[in-house]
Homo-oligomer: A and B are copies of this chain.
Amino acid sequence: MNDWFPLWLSLRVSVIATIVAGVLGVAIAYVLAKWRSRWASLVEAVVTLPIVLPPTVLGYYLLTLLGTRSSLGQSWESLFGSPLVFTQSGAVVAATVSALPFVIRAARAAISNVDARVEESARVMGLAEWRVARVVTLPLAARGIGAGIALGFARALGDFGATVMVAGNIPGQTQTLPVAVYDAVQAGDDATARTGSLVLGAIAVVVLVFVTQLFARRR
């Protein structure tokens, strides 16, 4: 590979998408875990759906939802002056949507598993609900949340189908590394495909080890 643009783009897109999906996903997971209702697992199943749809189909729906002809896409365009689809913002959206279900489900399981008695004792100590979440619930669920974020990151970094649909494949603009690797496989260019895969793998290993360490509970 003599062109490093896809690598930087992929890194930027996947990191931003992981942060967005992490914050949003943990918030949704928290609400789902605390929501004592039979509906919670139904809602959880529905938010898991993006995984089940073939990425291109997911991308197709996203495109319909966010494209230049949709009302959402038009509001975005009037707000920011440029369309959402076929831009790097579009790539971030696609990667975020792909990563979100993983964060939600892993975090929800971990949060539900936190001992309610410890949370109770923190309330009795006088900690406000948000501090109970910050001081007790989320730290005790850290490992599971970390697993979700790691999976979400891997998914965002590797996303191909949804990105290609929503962000297009514009070399030097929206062509991420997985898209470049895919192109190389199609073209029968094994060397480029191999280099690209190795680079993807290497980044992933570094980031994943880091994320795992970050969320491993100490003490």
Contacts and interface: CB of A to CB of B under 8 A. Distances in A.
Interface string A116-155: 0000000000000000000000000001101110110011
Contacts of A42: 205, 209
A200 interface: yes
Contact of A160 (B60, B102, B109, B161): B161
B151 A112 contact: no
- The number of times this chain is found in the oligomer is 2
B154 A48 contact: yes
A61 B151 CA distance: 21
Main secondary structure of the interface of A (DSSP, over half): helix
A108 B147 contact: yes
A201 B52 contact: yes
A45 B143 contact: no
Interface stretch (A73-81, A83-91, A177-185): A177-185
B41 A209 contact: yes
B105 A151 contact: yes
A182 to B, nearest CB: 5
Closest 5 CB pairs of A and B: A54-B160, A109-B147, A45-B208, A51-B154, A52-B158
